A and B are shown apart, each in its own frame.
Chain A
């Protein structure tokens, strides 16, 4: 069974702090990796795709370690507006040949004034 594991948190951090989320996945054949953000009672929204070379978007940096099957998200200079649940998402083909996204249960972040 494909699994994506995340620390559920909550992470309570002060404004301006740097916070890191980690995620592990069990399917070594996984092909695509994402971080989604979900605000309370709202739909998930793509935050960033994660590439093997690592990628950065402003205050957000995502890294992928295929050998360890590990994905990370680093948020620098946290803002109050960063408060949300962050979903680690992994995509790949199942044994039946269909492509599927597997979602982690999410890590809740609260940024405190």
Chain B
């Protein structure tokens, strides 16, 4: 089954403790992206990747890092999480960023709480 897999689904952590949220897709998509969703703000892009070893900042990159060493994986790294990074995170992938027919496929989401 074609899918984007995120782990973990839920995570509660303490301020400053480094964490990684994994994202993997099995569709051979070149484009991958991370979003956060907060009440009243909608989805905002954190980082995206056009292909292996090609990443760039989205609208809200502060406090996050990403890497794209393999085509299928695009982990999101929080080096020193803070409470304002408490949010619902989604990973998405697509054949290309401007895929008009198929849109983006999203992972099931990771609900992160930083205390």
Interface set of A (CB-CB < 8 Å, partner B): 31-32, 34, 36, 41-46, 49, 87, 89, 91, 98-101, 103-106
Query: Can you list 20 A-B pairs, Cβ within 8 angstroms, ordered by A?
Result: A31-B98, A31-B100, A32-B98, A32-B100, A36-B103, A42-B108, A42-B109, A43-B107, A44-B106, A45-B106, A46-B104, A49-B103, A91-B100, A99-B98, A100-B48, A100-B58, A103-B35, A103-B42, A103-B44, A105-B40
Least distance between B97 CB and chain A CB atoms (Å) = 4
Known: A31-B98, A87-B42. 13 other contacts (CB 8 A): A31-B100, A41-B88, A41-B109, A42-B109, A44-B90, A49-B100, A87-B43, A98-B56, A98-B97, A99-B98, A101-B45, A101-B104, A104-B42
Closest CB of chain B to A36's CB: distance in Å?
A: 7
Question: A46–B102 contact, CB under 8 A?
Answer: yes
Q: Is B84 an interface residue (CB 8 A)?
A: no
List the interface of chain B (C-beta within 8 A of A): 35, 40-45, 48, 56, 58, 88, 90, 97-98, 100-104, 106-109, 111
CA A33 – CA B44 in complex, angstroms? 17
Closest 6 CB pairs of A and B: A46-B103, A43-B106, A99-B97, A105-B42, A103-B43, A32-B100
Across chains A and B, the number of contacting residue pairs, with CB separation under 8 Å, is 52
**Complex partner residue of A43 from B42, B58, B90, CB under 8 angstroms:** B90
Establish whether residues A100 and B45, one from each chain, have CB atoms under 8 Å apart when the complex forms.
yes
* Secondary structure type dominating chain B contacts: loop
**Cα separation A105 to B43 with both chains bound (whole Å):** 7
Taking the nearest CB of chain A, how far is it from the CB of B8, in angstroms? 15
User: Closest Cβ of chain A: how far from B23's Cβ, in Å?
Assistant: 12
Contact B103–A34 (Cβ < 8 Å): yes
CB distance from A66 to the nearest CB of B (A): 14
Q: Considering only CB atoms, which chain B residue lies closest to A6 in the complex?
A: B42
A106 touches B42 (CB 8 A): yes
A14 vs chain B, min Cβ distance (A): 27
Q: Which residues of A contact B41 (CB under 8 A)?
A: 105
Instruction: Tell me if B109 and A43 are in contact (CB < 8 A).
Output: yes
